[in-house]
Amino acid sequence: MQHERTVFHVDANSAYLSWEAVWRLQHGAVLDLRKVPSVVGGDAESRHGIVLTKSIPAKKFGIQTGEVLWQARQKCPNLIVVPPNYGLYMICHQALLDMLHEFSSEVQVFSIDEAFIEYTGSEAVHGEAIEAAYKLKNRIRDELGFTVNVGVGPNKLLAKMAGEFSKPDKVHTCWEEEISTKMWPLPVGELFGVGRSTVPKLERLNILTIGDLAHAPDDLLARHLKSYGAVIKASANGQEFTLVGSDVHPPIKGIGNSQTIAFDVDTMEEAKRVLLSLTEMVCMRLRQTGFCARLVSVSIRTSDLGGRSHQHRMDAATDNTFRIYEAACRLFAEMWAGPKEKIRNFGVRVSDLSLADYLQLSILQPYDERKKRLDDAVDRIRFKYGTQSVQRAVFIASGIAPVMGGVPEENYPMMTNIM
């Protein structure tokens, strides 16, 4: 059957774990983390580290994403715990995007391991939709070493739903004529946009499946869920009309990076190095996702576990590393009590994001094209050769990594439809 529009949703399977496993195998490892009980998580010695992603064998032990590591170890004493390596994830993310752009000029990043592509009009180059989806999936597996699911549908919502049907390394479709057989029988909680807190409300109304929601009376939904009821009912019927890449607002609220230091920081010089290292990673992620930020926040935690934070709103949004670093240093100086206060944890975060393509300039902070070119050049080198390949001179023999990349702290808000 011919369809007016075709959208792909591409989702890397167990992304962090797969990327770590592939990197290790490419560098001589014998053990494939994907084939044994393993997780990517925080500090393995910390009771507060959490599971970020898990292997399929780990899932069989009941290990859940988001649970603390000590609980995961109780379920599986031989669990392999791998610390997160965000620098590696950025490189893999970029490699994935480069491949997607070979199939379409319209690619929309949805998260670090997910993206939509507008395939409409590309049939003459890569073949019919299903043929192209398999070609894309297999190329990613064979050339990049990790697997993805590709969901195919007439809009972003149905493409995303299709990509979730079963994993890993699969292609699924969900066209309008397939909604009743493929989507409606699923539990209502599996509909994108229906959050955990909404599921009990729907179940109390005897709305148990997506099909139940699709056929629920409008007045019933309005009475119990207000305008949100109409939105999720439209989704249950596969109605979604936004274009790929048509976001007016960024899909993330902010980008942050924090790190616990192995020693007590008690000098301004050391603190500035830590702030610069954290800012390097934050700004790399900011530029890679195509945003600029106007609000900069810095948090600290002292050796006695006390903590506080300050924030500053700049005159104009920016993605420049040095400008954001300068703001972070000013914020730290404002709240630090001096050498008597030992700092063990630092955090840098940017928010109030705007798309870089629509940047509003300020006469108070002139746009510096040279700094922009420098940042872009350093990013390209680091994406290709790793985050340690280029470093600022202040880090030489300092004992502080030139780019710190802790657990990623992007915030992806739950959206009622796919913007």
Residues listed for the chain: 419
CA 268/CA 257 separation, integer angstroms: 20
Structure tokens at 188: 């209502």
Please indicate whether residue 114 is annotated as part of the active site.
Answer: yes
Cβ neighbours of 159 (radius 10 Å): 28
Judge if the upstream peptide bond of residue 168 is cis by omega within 30 degrees of 0. Answer: yes
Structure tokens at 307: 């903590």
Return the closest-CA partner of residue 247 out of 291, 279, 203.
291
Reported as type and span, the H/E element at residue 157 is helix 156-163
Return the closest-CA partner of residue 250 out of 277, 221, 286, 282.
286
CA 187/CA 207 separation, integer angstroms: 9
Phi, psi of 141 (to 5 degrees): -65, -45
Active-site pick, 114, 118, 240, 280? 114
Q: Which residues are catalytic?
A: 114
